[in-house]
Amino acid sequence: MKPEDREKLEALFDAGAAKVASTEEHWIHNGDEGLSYCRECCEKEVAKLLKADPSGEYCVDGGWGIEGDTTPYCETCGKLLDNTLTEYGCEAEVDHFLRNGFDPASPGQCRSMSEVIMARGWEPMEGRTYRDDFEKKSDLDYFAALDKLCAGILKLMEAGDEKTI
Ligand SMILES: [Zn+2]
């Protein structure tokens, strides 16, 4: 993929991401740390837990970007939360769009791709040492899939341009 094509795609993804409101991810320290909340809902949950168990050492944790296999949403209010996608998370997103299609007009989908690019970039990390052949193959397969998806998105963008002109 040409650098100017990457720039075009990044501009599309980032513009979509800018339209989608998200907030920092929090969780309950000493609570069920697998559950994610926005700050407000997390504070409420902590207060609830402390009321039921005053000696419990619950507190609001998080507020910084941690890695996750999927994009988190607040357990209580459903607000979109920030994280960094893991390698697996990126693979799952690219795979999803290859299977189900991608809509360049959807800010949510553009945000997902912006997260994917932010997490793993456009090509394999230079000089990366792989644990084994399997890891190497899945890394290369991932970037081949990303290229395929992005070539398809570029085509859609170009078709869209013609319609608006
Ligand atoms: Zn919430």
- pLDDT tens digits along 120-130: 999 999 999 99
**Residue 159 CB-density burial (10 A; 0-12 exposed, 13-18 middle, 19+ buried):** exposed
The residues placing their C-beta within 5 Å of ligand 1, an ion, are: 38, 41, 74, 76-77, 79
**Closest among 5, 10, 8, 16 to 110, alpha carbons compared:** 16
**Residue 33 CB-density burial (10 A; 0-12 exposed, 13-18 middle, 19+ buried):** exposed
Residue 136 covered by a domain: yes
Range of the domain at 92: 3-20+84-164
Q: What share of the chain in percent tops pLDDT 90? A: 92
Res 165 pLDDT > 50: no
Contact 78, 37 (CB under 8 A): no
Cα of 120 from ligand 1 centre, angstroms: 28
Cα of 74 from ligand 1 centre, angstroms: 5
If you ran DSSP here, which 8-state letter would residue 64 be given? Answer: S
Cα of 45 from ligand 1 centre, angstroms: 10
Cα of 51 from ligand 1 centre, angstroms: 19
Residue 145 covered by a domain: yes
Res 162 pLDDT > 60: no
Q: Average model confidence (pLDDT) for the chain?
A: 94
Residue 153 covered by a domain: yes
Cα of 65 from ligand 1 centre, angstroms: 16
Residues 14 and 44 in one domain: no
If you ran DSSP here, which 8-state letter would residue 34 be given? Answer: T
Q: What share of the chain in percent tops pLDDT 70? A: 97
The string of pLDDT tens digits covering residues 38-75 is 999 999 999 999 999 999 999 999 998 899 999 999 99
Q: How far is CA 89 from CA 48, 147, 165, in A?
A: 32, 17, 37
Q: Looking at the 3D structure of the chain, how many domains does it have?
A: 2
Residue 77 covered by a domain: no
Residues 89 and 125 in one domain: yes
Cα of 80 from ligand 1 centre, angstroms: 9
**Closest among 107, 66, 106 to 89, alpha carbons compared:** 66
H or E element at residue 84? strand 84-85
Cα of 55 from ligand 1 centre, angstroms: 25
